[in-house]
Amino acid sequence: MTDIVLGVGASHSTLMNTHWEETVHKDEAGRFRDALYAARDELAAARPDTVVIVGSNHFRGFWLDLIPSFTIGVGECVASGESGTPKGPQPVDEDLARHIAGTLVDGGRFDVAFSARLQIDHGQSHAIQYLLDGLDVEIVPIVVNVFAPPLPALARCDALGGAIRDAIAAFPGDRRVAVIGSGGLSHRLPWPDWRSPDGEDEEFMVRAWLDGRHNWQDYDARRRQIIRAAQAAINPEFDDELLTMVEKGELHRITAYTTERLEEVAGNGAQEVRTWLVMAAALGHAPGRRLAYEVIPEWLTGMGVAVIDPAPHGKVSR
């Protein structure tokens, strides 16, 4: 029998790699990093064969010429390697990935996109770098559109997680599977609505998102300058509410937010909590544990880590 043995939700920031020394809130940054390592140890203890990584796209894997709501990597997977994150081919559990994609489509629950040659960015590779360090596992990469409206409704992300859970349970054999949701929490990026850019910087960003498929690196230096010049907009109250939902097994309540309300309260970067929602739903919304929450303005983000163990009393079955 194929079982989901652990879930992890974790924020990501490439500024961990590129601007650690310039980070003023070193204690907070250290506690967050330690929580990533603690989650990594829990993943190791759960002994997964495969890790489903649900992450976002930062216009280095998908561009405005084609933006599916949900995409499953079912073949080759290459990490773009920006900002010191892993680069190059990643090992994919093709059998499980194709089973999940086929089950979702054949069952009529989701017409997901799939890619036999998927490029991922730090929306997945940040988790590979910190949460899968030293683990001999294959992955199933799943990309959720969180930055190019119209975005999939939060309720659809919740339903997708449940459908993935059912598909994994139906997979023949005895795979042990973990699920990671990578992204969030509250933050605001200086990224426009692509449909109505305002000013030179926003027009540049939209052009990079439209034309970057073959030369995204050419746009990266200015992109980073625009991001580094942004002011932090973190909402610790929202982040605490979300993490409390995770702890209580009630993250499905976040579906009460519309896309517009979520951005108003927690910033456009908070749209990444869709990845946590897919993960939590795949874990059957079992109660979780908060490992860390830190406000790190230099990274523009409220940084959280949580673990969901579906086994009774929080113990991984052996």
pLDDT tens digits for range 241-279: 999 999 999 999 999 999 999 999 999 999 999 999 999
User: What pTM did the predictor assign?
Assistant: 0.95
User: Confidence band (pLDDT; 50, 70, 90) for 215?
Assistant: confident
285: left (phi over 0), alpha (psi -120 to 50) or beta: left
Phi-psi category of residue 81: left, alpha or beta, with phi > 0 → left and psi -120 to 50 → alpha: left
**Average pLDDT score over residue span 90-118:** 96
Mean confidence (pLDDT) of the chain: 94
User: Which pLDDT belongs to residue 312?
Assistant: 66
Residue 302 has pLDDT above 90, yes or no: yes
CA distance 91 to 136: 10
Query: Tens of pLDDT along 140-189?
Result: 999 999 999 999 999 999 999 999 999 999 999 899 999 999 999 999 99
Please say if the pLDDT value at position 313 is more than 50: no
Max Cα-Cα span within the chain: 57
The residue to which tokens 């998908």 are assigned:
62
Determine how many CB atoms are found less than 10 A away from the CB of residue 290.
16
Which residues have a catalytic role annotated?
Answer: 122, 187
Band of residue 35 on the pLDDT scale cut at 50, 70, 90 = very high
Query: Would the pLDDT of 316 be above 70?
Result: no
Tell me the fold of 3-189+230-311: Protocatechuate 4,5-dioxygenase; Chain B (3.40.830)
